[in-house]
C-alpha cells in the first residue's frame, strides 16, 4: 500500500506534464502556417527547437542534480507554460525564443522526473529496485493513452470548437500548472552527486569511443531520429491541403506507435522467444 501511494504521487505530477507535452504535437506547424510564415521560416523555428533540446540535453543532468530534482520539475512547468504563452505572439523572434524554451522544457521532462523518482524509490523509501520497472512500465502505458487522447482533445478545441490552432497550447497551460502545484505540495527535494560538466562530457565521450558497439548503436539511433524529425516536420504540410483532421491523424500515429510497442513486447514473450539482433 505504501508503494502504491508513492506511485500515485509520482503519476499526479508526471502524467499531466506528459499530457501537456502531447497536446502541442498536432497543431504546431499549422499554427506557424496560420501566422503566414513561409515553409523555410517554419523549418528554422523547428531547428531552433531541436537544437535547443540537444544543447540543453547536454547540461540537463548536471543542472537537475545541482538545482534539485523537485525544483527542476517546477522549473519545467514554468518554462513550458511560458513557451505556450509565447505562441500567442505573431512576432518571429518571440516564437523562436518560445521554441528554445520548449527545448529546455523537453530536456527537463525527460531527465528531472525520472531522476526524482529513482532517488525517492531507492534512497528514501527503500523499496525493492526491481519495482522501478513496474512504475515506468505503467507510466509508458499511460503515456501511450495520453498521446492518443491528446490528438482528439487538440482536434476538439482547435476545430470542433473553432478556437483555432493556438487553442491546444492554451489548454496545455492548466495541466502544466497542475503538475507544478502537485510537485510543490507533495514532493520532497532531492539532489544528485555534483560532478564537473567537463568531466561528465569526457566520461561520455570516452565510453562512446572505447566500445565500437556503443558508437554503432548511437549512429543507428541518430539516423533513425533524424528520419523521425523530418517526418514530424513534413506530415502536416503534406496532409493539411487535403483537409485531413490533424488531431485525429496525430492520434492515429500515436495509436500505431503504441501497437508497435505491444507487438515488440509480444515478440519477446515466452510464447515466441524472439530476440532483437
Per-residue pLDDT of the chain (277 residues; tens, 9 = 90+): 999 999 999 999 999 999 999 999 999 999 999 999 999 999 999 999 999 998 998 888 888 988 999 999 999 999 999 999 999 999 999 999 999 999 999 999 999 999 999 999 999 999 999 999 999 999 999 999 999 999 999 999 999 999 999 999 999 999 999 999 999 999 999 988 877 777 778 888 888 889 999 999 999 999 999 999 999 999 999 999 999 999 999 999 999 999 998 898 888 888 888 887 7
Can you tell me the distance from the alpha carbon of 227 to that of 235, in angstroms, rounded to the nearest whole number? 12
Cell of 154: 487538440
Specify whether the CB–CB gap between 265 and 276 falls below 8 A: no
Domains of the chain by start residue, with CATH: 1-265 (1.20.1250.20)
Q: CB-based contacts of 15: which residues, under 8 Å, 6+ apart?
A: 139, 142, 146
pTM above 0.85, yes or no: yes
Q: Are 107 and 126 in contact (CB under 8 A)?
A: no
pLDDT one-digit tens code per residue, 218-237: 999 999 999 999 999 999 99
Closest listed residue to residue 233, CA positions, set 13, 8, 104, 44 = 44
Amino acid at each position: 500500500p505504501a508503494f502504491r501511494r508513492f506511485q500515485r504521487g509520482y503519476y499526479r505530477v508526471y502524467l499531466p506534464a506528459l499530457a501537456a507535452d502531447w497536446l502541442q504535437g498536432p497543431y504546431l506547424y499549422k499554427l506557424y502556417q496560420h501566422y503566414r510564415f513561409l515553409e523555410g521560416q517554419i523549418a528554422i523555428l523547428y531547428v531552433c527547437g531541436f537544437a535547443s533540446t540537444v544543447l540543453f540535453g547536454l547540461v540537463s543532468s548536471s543542472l537537475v542534480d545541482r538545482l534539485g530534482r523537485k525544483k527542476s520539475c517546477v522549473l519545467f512547468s514554468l518554462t513550458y507554460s511560458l513557451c505556450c504563452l509565447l505562441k500567442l505572439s505573431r512576432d518571429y523572434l518571440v516564437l523562436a525564443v518560445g521554441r528554445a524554451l520548449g527545448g529546455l522544457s523537453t530536456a527537463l521532462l525527460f531527465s528531472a522526473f525520472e531522476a526524482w523518482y529513482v532517488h525517492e524509490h531507492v534512497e528514501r523509501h527503500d523499496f525493492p529496485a526491481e519495482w522501478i520497472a513496474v512504475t515506468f512500465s505503467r507510466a509508458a502505458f499511460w503515456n501511450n493513452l495520453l498521446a492518443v487522447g491528446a490528438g482528439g482533445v487538440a482536434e476538439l478545441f482547435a476545430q470542433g470548437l473553432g478556437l483555432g490552432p493556438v487553442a491546444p497550447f492554451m489548454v496545455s497551460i492548466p495541466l502544466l500548472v497542475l503538475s507544478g502545484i502537485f510537485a510543490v505540495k507533495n514532493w520532497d527535494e532531492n539532489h544528485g552527486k555534483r560532478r564537473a560538466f567537463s568531466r561528465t562530457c569526457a566520461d561520455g565521450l570516452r565510453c562512446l569511443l572505447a566500445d565500437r558497439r556503443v558508437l554503432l548503436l548511437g549512429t543507428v539511433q541518430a539516423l533513425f531520429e533524424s528520419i523521425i524529425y523530418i517526418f514530424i516536420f513534413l506530415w502536416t504540410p503534406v496532409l493539411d491541403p487535403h483537409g485531413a483532421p490533424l488531431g485525429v491523424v496525430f492520434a492515429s500515429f500515436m495509436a500505431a506507435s503504441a501497437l508497435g510497442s505491444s507487438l515488440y513486447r509480444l515478440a519477446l514473450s515466452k510464447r515466441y522467444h524472439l530476440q532483437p539482433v
